[in-house]
């Protein structure tokens, strides 16, 4: 059996409506496994950029420790969905508590560091995921079908969601925190903040049959397939160079990206045999 490698490319770009980009991301490849994290700072909060940066860095650090503890690269299916839910929520609560300690030290209101969070640990046969808030995530399987693997949380009003720093989500985690393990043959994964969703997902549309607005939450293959091809063709390039091209793409690669007022982040991971 051939070894599996992951090529990850990622970037964030400031939206037209923001003075600075408040999205953050982090990733690392460990053997045949990748860890990808996106954190989207709440645009209305003063210290959201710091909150998203710390959330993404801490998530990568703590989930890497978890991966090494269970040796997930070499022992697939070792963790049940119930165990994964319990332990991944505990890790994210640890991140929230660390943010609180930092906020106290800096004399910040914790809510001023509000950020969403998406974490995906991917092997060729499974994706372990946890997320809080909005954003999107999808994977490509061996049958070349793109599937969403999170359902973004959206409140009653447009743009309303929940954050790692939201106090009530820990008491009502079943409603606000989504976890899952997807078992499939994984060829590629994509994580994105909500600023990139309109260009790359079929999101909210009017359903003629039900006469209601629905969030279809369907990735557009026509958007992602050329990007997967691009990453494979450039897999030998340094991350720094590839990520610079990626950032330019997020800034003006599509008319939707040019018009987008919100910050945009996309992580795309492609695995390939070597």
Q: Where are the beta strands (DSSP E) in the chain?
A: 4-13, 23-30, 33-40, 117-122, 126-132, 136-141, 146-148, 177-183, 186-192, 201-207, 212-219, 264-273
pLDDT of residue 160: 77
Rounded to the nearest angstrom, the gap between the alpha carbon of residue 88 and the centroid of all alpha carbons in its chain is 15
- pLDDT surpassing 70 at residue 229: yes
C-alpha 251/C-alpha 267 separation (Å) is 15
Residue pair 182/126 in contact (Cβ under 8 Å)? The answer is yes
Share in percent of the chain as helix, strand, coil (round to 5):
35, 30, 30
- For residue 190 the two structure tokens come to 């994509």
C-alpha 38/C-alpha 33 separation (Å) is 17
Residue 195 per-residue DSSP state: G
Tell me how far CA of residue 181 lies from CA of 88, 116, 128, 145, 190, in angstroms.
11, 20, 5, 18, 16
C-alpha 75/C-alpha 176 separation (Å) is 30
Give the pLDDT band (50/70/90) at residue 1: very low
pLDDT in tens, 194-208: 999 999 999 876 566
- Which domains are delineated in the chain? 4-273 (3.60.40.10)
Residue pair 124/4 in contact (Cβ under 8 Å)? The answer is yes
pLDDT of residue 258: 95
Residue pair 149/141 in contact (Cβ under 8 Å)? The answer is no
pLDDT in tens, 33-81: 999 999 999 988 999 999 999 999 999 999 999 999 988 877 667 899 9
C-alpha 250/C-alpha 234 separation (Å) is 17
Give the pLDDT band (50/70/90) at residue 274: low
Sign of the CA dihedral with 210 first, then 175, 27, and 57 last = positive
pLDDT in tens, 115-161: 999 999 999 999 999 999 999 999 999 999 999 999 999 866 556 79
């Amino acid at each position: 059996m051939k070894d599996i490698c992951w090529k990850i490319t990622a970037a964030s770009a400031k939206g037209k409506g923001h003075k600075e980009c408040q999205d953050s991301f982090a990733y690392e490849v460990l053997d045949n496994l990748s860890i990808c994290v996106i954190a989207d700072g709440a645009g209305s909060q003063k210290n959201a950029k710091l909150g998203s940066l710390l959330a993404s860095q801490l998530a990568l650090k703590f989930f890497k420790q978890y991966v090494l503890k269970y040796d997930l690269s070499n022992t697939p299916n070792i963790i049940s969905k119930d165990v994964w839910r319990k332990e991944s929520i505990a890790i994210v609560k640890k991140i929230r508590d660390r943010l609180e300690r930092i906020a106290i030290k800096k004399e910040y209101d914790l809510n001023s560091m509000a950020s969403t969070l998406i974490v995906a640990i991917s092997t060729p046969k499974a994706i372990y995921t946890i997320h809080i808030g909005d954003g999107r995530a999808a994977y490509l399987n061996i049958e070349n079908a793109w599937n969403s693997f999170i359902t973004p949380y959206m409140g009653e009003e447009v743009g309303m969601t929940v954050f790692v720093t939201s106090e009530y989500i820990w008491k009502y985690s079943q409603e606000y925190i989504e976890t899952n393990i997807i078992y499939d043959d994984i060829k590629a994964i994509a994580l994105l903040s909500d600023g990139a969703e309109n260009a790359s997902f079929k999101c909210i549309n009017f359903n003629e049959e039900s006469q209601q607005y629905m969030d279809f939450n369907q990735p557009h293959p026509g958007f992602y397939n050329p990007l997967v091809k691009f990453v494979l063709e450039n897999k030998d390039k340094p991350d720094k160079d590839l990520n610079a091209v990626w950032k330019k793409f997020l800034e003006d690669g599509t008319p939707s990206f040019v018009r987008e007022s919100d910050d945009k982040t996309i992580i795309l991971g492609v695995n390939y045999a070597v």
